Copies of this chain bind each other. A is one copy, B any other.
Amino acid sequence: MTIHDVAARAGVSVSTVSKVLNDRYGVATSTVDRVRAVIAELGYESSLVARSLRNHRTNVIGVLVWDIEPYSAELLKGAARAIKGTGYELVVYAAGGKGAERMGWEHRYLSRLSGTLIDGAVMVTPTVDTAPFSTPVVAVDPHTGSEVPTVDSDNFRGAQLAVEHLLGLGHRRIGLLRRPPRDLESGPQREEGYRSALQAAGITPDPDLVRAGGYDDSASEDAARQLLTLPDRPTAIFAANDVSAITTIDVAMALGLRVPGDLSVIGFDNVPESAMTEPGLTTIEQPLQLMGQRAIEMLVELLAGRDLPQTHVRLPTRLVVRGSCAAPPAEPRRVAVEHSAAR
């Protein structure tokens, strides 16, 4: 079913049909009606692909994500909300399906799609700088300081809030379970917030109390275990990642510690689901939907040829208390030695 079929059926040339499709001048009213009738009769719709190969404008905005999981799904909800009424359509490309070549997927996808198919893109957590592209791009939560317009959340302040909350409860030895090294830009930001809050309270951060998790659960598990089996173990742990917060709680309980009785845990929340899983967990929340929404809004501005009021948008994080944090125990219980020896 192509434009040729329509043309043949209506007894006109393809260019006439094209003109009717695009509301161009120079077609007799009677012809327009006839062609329209045939289009309706056949249920014809012009191919987005052929059209975008020709016109280099598609009215489509692409959101490029590595995978659709709880984190990106939240962003997508916000993006979908923001796209309404803009005249653009939204398509989401999930790279995760094809191949395992994670490095550089952003560049690959952007080259394959930009110019044709999408007028602009929102890239979620790009690992490489996608600056040398003519297509307008907005990055969400980029890994490295990037040249492109960016939306992220206030990781620094969020970490401060977490630690301030724990300090307010009386904790003095607060551990940090940070992200793996050389990961997202937000990792160092959260660590900075942690240090800053401690120092503001006159506490010198103890390097022993900072451990890095990894990409899989077991790395976080090891790190949590190391922290908790320290001779002078922390009475509270700030986990700079929602998954590692839950892991920490599990490890603590396995070690015979009560949460929050013996140990307070506070996590940097990425997704609402994690709050559900662990109902009592106090978290620092990022406004993920809002971030997706703002990214689209910025991109639409860019596509309209307007300048952005600010090229780097940082949204506030907030502390959400659900009851898990307690004051530090008067006499911190030591973890039995055999546990620390095990593995």
Contacts and interface: CB of A to CB of B under 8 A. Distances in A.
A69 interface: yes
B98 A94 contact: no
A80 B68 contact: yes
B59 A68 contact: no
Interface stretch (A85-93, A177-185, A225-233, A323-331): A85-93
B70 A84 contact: no
A113 interface: yes
A4 interface: no
A111 interface: yes
Contacts of A313: none
Contacts of A97: 80, 83-84, 86-90
A49 interface: yes
Given A69-B77, A272-B273, A272-B276, A92 B91 contact: yes
Given A86-B97, A90-B94, A116 B68 contact: no
Interface string A233-252: 00000000000000000000
Given A70-B77, A98-B59, A91 B89 contact: no
B80 A49 contact: no
Given A68-B77, A111-B44, A116 B83 contact: no
Given A43-B111, A44-B111, A276-B275, A50 B84 contact: no
B115 A47 contact: yes
A98 B91 contact: no
A39 to B, nearest CB: 11
B94 A89 contact: yes
Interface of A: 1, 43-50, 52-53, 59, 67-70, 73-74, 76-77, 79-80, 83-84, 86-98, 107-108, 111-113, 115-117, 272-273, 275-276, 279
14 contacts: A43-B107, A48-B113, A50-B53, A68-B80, A69-B77, A70-B77, A73-B74, A73-B77, A80-B96, A80-B97, A84-B97, A89-B93, A90-B97, A91-B92
